[in-house]
Amino acid sequence: MSTGVDPQELPPGLALAWGLPAKTSKLGRTPSQSVEQVVEAAVELADADGFAALSMPKLAKKLGLTANAIYRYVRSRDELLVLVAETGWGPAPDLVSGADRWRTAATTWTRSMIDRCDVHPWLVDLPVRGAPVTPNLLRWTEVILESLTGAGLSPKEAIQCALLLDVYARRTADMRRDLRQSNAGSVKSTTVQDFLLPLLHEHGYPLVAALMTSNEYSDDIDDNDVTFGLTLILDGIDGLLSGNKPHHTTDPAG
């Protein structure tokens, strides 16, 4: 399908993400790879070695291509990042429908984002350069907007709430990733606590000391922590929905 727009005039990766081939030189050998294979290899690199592995030279080496040949498939690293983001996030989750089930839908959506970042931790490192414009990312946006507008929010309110949930999911996933990869000693360690507790009391940290003593001061983010934060956000959205409902008053003369 042609959109009537020259792909060369579009932002990097946009045409390829929508399955529209970008113009390439017809000179040289027949391509040995497809764009899909190149993106798949890039995702494998990132899964194995993190965001820093997403370089054109490393990708060319993995595919057995020359440094120049990789540009037959993707024009730049910026284009590559758009395509790996589209593949990494993948299809949007299926959400329950119904105006009274928006909380379940929003919870599923947010937790699905966190889960995708657990599968591909480098997703949280990808630069966010604007609103979603590629198919999968737009579908993630569309399904949460359907749930929130169906519950009674305006489209503007819905996109603002979706952004809040998005930021919460990304930041939570980022912190979980960092903690998993950290080699720092745990604050739950007996050695660490024996060292810290006297200092906390001496230097005026009584609340932290009380939490540590009761084993409630932790360097983990568990499911209860995720649920607590998400519940507060959803309660805020619930308040916004309540404020949108018309208030019926009784005519005192009636």
| DSSP per-residue letters across 197-243 | HHHHHHHT-HHHHHHHHTT---S---HHHHHHHHHHHHHHHHHHHHH
The verdict on 129 and 237 lying in the same domain is yes
Instruction: For helices 35-49 and 77-89, give the axis angle rounded to 10 degrees.
Output: 80
Residue 23: predicted pLDDT = 56
The verdict on 236 and 119 lying in the same domain is yes
Q: Over 60: is that where the pLDDT of 251 sits?
A: no
Q: Are 124 and 170 spatial neighbours (Cβ–Cβ below 8 Å)?
A: yes
85 located within any domain: yes
User: Stretch 142-146: mean pLDDT, rounded?
Assistant: 98
The verdict on 153 and 237 lying in the same domain is yes
249 located within any domain: no
Residue 189: predicted pLDDT = 84
Q: Is the backbone of residue 19 left (phi > 0), alpha (psi -120 to 50) or beta? A: left
User: In the structure, what pLDDT confidence band is assigned to residue 248 with cuts at 50, 70 and 90?
Assistant: very low
225 located within any domain: no
Q: Are 88 and 43 spatial neighbours (Cβ–Cβ below 8 Å)?
A: yes
Residue 3: predicted pLDDT = 66
Q: Write out the residue range of the structural domain in which residue 209 sits.
A: 185-218
The verdict on 130 and 238 lying in the same domain is yes
Q: How many domains, the chain?
A: 3
The verdict on 133 and 235 lying in the same domain is yes
Task: Report the percentage of the chain scoring pLDDT > 90.
Answer: 75
60 located within any domain: yes
The verdict on 110 and 236 lying in the same domain is yes
Domain finish residue from 89, 121, 148: 89
2 located within any domain: no
Q: Over 70: is that where the pLDDT of 247 sits?
A: no
The verdict on 132 and 11 lying in the same domain is no
Task: Report the percentage of the chain scoring pLDDT > 70.
Answer: 90
Mean pLDDT is lowest, of 4-18, 67-81, 226-240, for 4-18
Domain finish residue from 57, 89, 121: 89
| DSSP per-residue letters across 32-78 | SS-HHHHHHHHHHHHHHH-GGG--HHHHHHHHT--TTGGGGT-SSHH
Domain finish residue from 29, 64, 89: 89
User: Stretch 116-143: mean pLDDT, rounded?
Assistant: 96
Residue 25: predicted pLDDT = 47
252 located within any domain: no
User: In the structure, what pLDDT confidence band is assigned to residue 224 with cuts at 50, 70 and 90?
Assistant: very high
Q: Are 37 and 60 spatial neighbours (Cβ–Cβ below 8 Å)?
A: no
223 located within any domain: no
- Which tokens is 242 given? 């309540």
Q: Is the backbone of residue 91 left (phi > 0), alpha (psi -120 to 50) or beta? A: beta
Higher pLDDT, 197 or 243: 197
Residue 250: predicted pLDDT = 45
Q: Over 70: is that where the pLDDT of 103 sits?
A: yes
The verdict on 42 and 76 lying in the same domain is yes
Question: What 3-state class would DSSP assign to 96?
Answer: coil
User: Stretch 89-117: mean pLDDT, rounded?
Assistant: 97
User: Stretch 98-113: mean pLDDT, rounded?
Assistant: 97
The verdict on 75 and 146 lying in the same domain is no
Higher pLDDT, 144 or 183: 144
The verdict on 105 and 11 lying in the same domain is no
The verdict on 22 and 118 lying in the same domain is no
User: In the structure, what pLDDT confidence band is assigned to residue 252 with cuts at 50, 70 and 90?
Assistant: very low
The verdict on 14 and 123 lying in the same domain is no
Cα separation, 237 vs 244, whole angstroms: 11
165 located within any domain: yes
17-68 tens-digit pLDDT: 998 876 554 445 556 789 999 999 999 999 999 999 999 999 999 999 999 9
Residue keyed to tokens 């999968």:
136
Q: What is the CATH number of the domain that holds 14?
A: 1.10.10.60
Q: Are 65 and 33 spatial neighbours (Cβ–Cβ below 8 Å)?
A: yes
Q: Over 50: is that where the pLDDT of 178 sits?
A: yes
Give, in order, the Cα–Cα distances in Å from 88 to each of 108, 120, 137, 186.
18, 7, 10, 31
